[in-house]
Structure 1
């Protein structure tokens, strides 16, 4: 427990941060249509946030290397709270998108929190720490979407209420950070490293980032079209979608809170990533096979397990591969790769949905993940031995 205790305030703060994010997610596509946006392009509201995060995350990670983790965590939380207040008061479709772009630019929390955990945990405890961070996301996305689905209502949706509540949650995150998070002593203060260029010149880091991007490309496509897929296939609305997301969040908590820390020391990060990609392939096939509402639980569960195994294993491996003076920048670039996938994923998912039918994004996702599986197999063989040696050190 002593090895994990320093990260507990960050974990608690993250839960409040993600509860806030989760509260607004179920209603965002419907918020777009309420302002006159077309159903087929509604998922692009997620791309707007992520496109901004592509630019913002590496900067936040680099700043955390130069200025410290706590100042970045605190600034990101406060500015994110402001973005929710803006979201609650938008009057047009343009302003709605602008508020989410601002939120994406301010989304430095995850990069700095990953770097924080890399600073305060030993290699043997790294996957456990990353798993706990991921579990905090799962808790947040279990509570957040459920509260957001309840708050938005049914016949007369109140889109401002979840946004105001999200601002309160993120303000609490900032207070926890201010009073309980201590600046780690081990992060690098090397000011000569350029936050993006030097990281991407590292071949091992670049290969892992390519795989990380590919996995999230498919994951975010499914996430982006899920609401409209459920509406078209089964007539579900924002409230029902929120409950399915809450179920996926619960599975995430179970996997990242308990399963990851047990299997990574045994199998190594590389093999766990390979298993995760295989499970995500099964997810895409399972979606196409859904014929009744209750069956949605199967692919949503597989999706949650797959991504819950992938993220902490990948983050742990990246933190071990990255030199000390690049840890914040590497985590920022990892978040940027994930955010870039969140731009492209919902975009091609929505395009495929509109042009080729509701199941087409999942069939395409299966093909993409098949290629990713082969690449993950190559990387697993390369990194597993080194990762196991590091865990034993």
Structure 2
């Protein structure tokens, strides 16, 4: 454990929180305008624009799969600070690049660069593992979740307002945020990984994407937890791939109604991550908190699928919000099993594997939704995608319970 003074550690955690918040804000700013900019560059053709937006998502996830383990290995060898700062700088310059992109091809190049630089989220997680004692990591990871929730409340709302003035204005706003973040970190962010705890050399074999699988083999005790995270993360894509259309088809919400619901989801996410995660993990312990969070997610998605009226959908919101407890609990459990010199590789490997779900999951949920509201469906079921997400999350819950039982049998033997 790093011997950083307590005030320095707090300042470091504050910066990491702000880093993640600003990065999420910057991405949130462009969420409401990127499809419209694609449509504009495509000549106004909505069909082709939808194809390009889907392609952008697949490429973004694929590039993150390749780049995350490299960033993780670099941070283990050279420290977290230079990797995080360079990522912030690169992200800011890339938003300028996208703001000026004259064609779809150049905009695609910009998305590829942003996928590489946004991989710094894995390094931020490794930083937290460096400066936080094991018993406090669940709460710290929960604060990162709160940054995501807050960023996705404010970002899209501001991005929509700026986009109403000019479609490229949110990109400039995102660039200002990211570059300000770089300047702030240049003066404030301390290094969290001392030289004596760094990897002795940069190993390209550990930076290859498939080295993620090798890392899992090296730490078989976290294999179940990584699969749990992959399954849980894949279900997040049911929101972005179907939620807008689902709200329109089932409740007639339209874009405004959906935006209000998303704002409520973001507020609940902040409340749970910032106010409840640490308390729940402290009270239940990391193992039971993981199972509890996943179970809440299963129930929440099932309610969404059954909800024939908006009020029943609203009932599911606070229940599914408690699902957020599961990720920091899983992160905290995994960081206990890996040494300081491998935390960056662990987080990079996790993010790399998680990126694979971004290639497969959106199409899986979107096609399920489309099939069950179409003419070929054996039964009309607009909530089918949410039922599928509930089943996937139920599998994650089963694995979490199995891991908990295995851990319970190992601990007495090693005590």
* Equivalent position SS for 2:336: helix
The number of residues matched between the two structures is 387
Look up the match of 1:85.
96
Look up the match of 1:143.
154
Q: Give the one of 175, 178, 184 matched to 1:170.
A: 178
Q: Give the one of 358, 365, 368 matched to 2:392.
A: 368
8 Å CA contact retained: 2:224, 2:400: no
Is 1:75 the counterpart of 2:99? The answer is no
* Equivalent position SS for 1:321: coil
8 Å CA contact retained: 1:222, 1:349: no
Note the 1:244-323 alignment, pairs <5 A: 244-293=261-310, 296-306=313-323, 308-323=324-339
Is 1:191 the counterpart of 2:201? The answer is yes
CA deviation after TM superposition for structure 1 residue 71, in Å: 0.6
Unmatched 5+ residue regions in structure 2?
1-5, 374-381
Q: How far apart are the structure 1 equivalents of 2:78 and 2:119?
A: 13
Is 1:18 the counterpart of 2:24? The answer is yes
* TM-score under structure 1 length normalisation: 0.88
Give the 3 Å change call, closer, same or farther, for CA 378–26 of structure 1 in structure 2. farther
8 Å CA contact retained: 1:4, 1:129: no
Note the 1:41-120 alignment, pairs <5 A: 41=51, 42-43=53-54, 45-120=56-131
Give the 3 Å change call, closer, same or farther, for CA 147–75 of structure 1 in structure 2. same
Q: Deviations over 1:148-171 (max 9, x none)?
A: 233333xxx843222221111111
Structure 1 stretches of 4+ moved >6 Å: 384-388
* Equivalent position SS for 2:89: helix
* TM-score under structure 2 length normalisation: 0.83
Larger Rg: 2
8 Å CA contact retained: 2:216, 2:223: yes
Look up the match of 1:391.
none
8 Å CA contact retained: 2:272, 2:325: yes
Note the 1:338-357 alignment, pairs <5 A: 338-357=354-373
* Equivalent position SS for 2:32: coil
Q: How far apart are the structure 2 equivalents of 1:81 and 1:127?
A: 30
Q: How far apart are the structure 2 equivalents of 1:142 and 1:385?
A: 43
CA deviation after TM superposition for structure 1 residue 18, in Å: 1.3
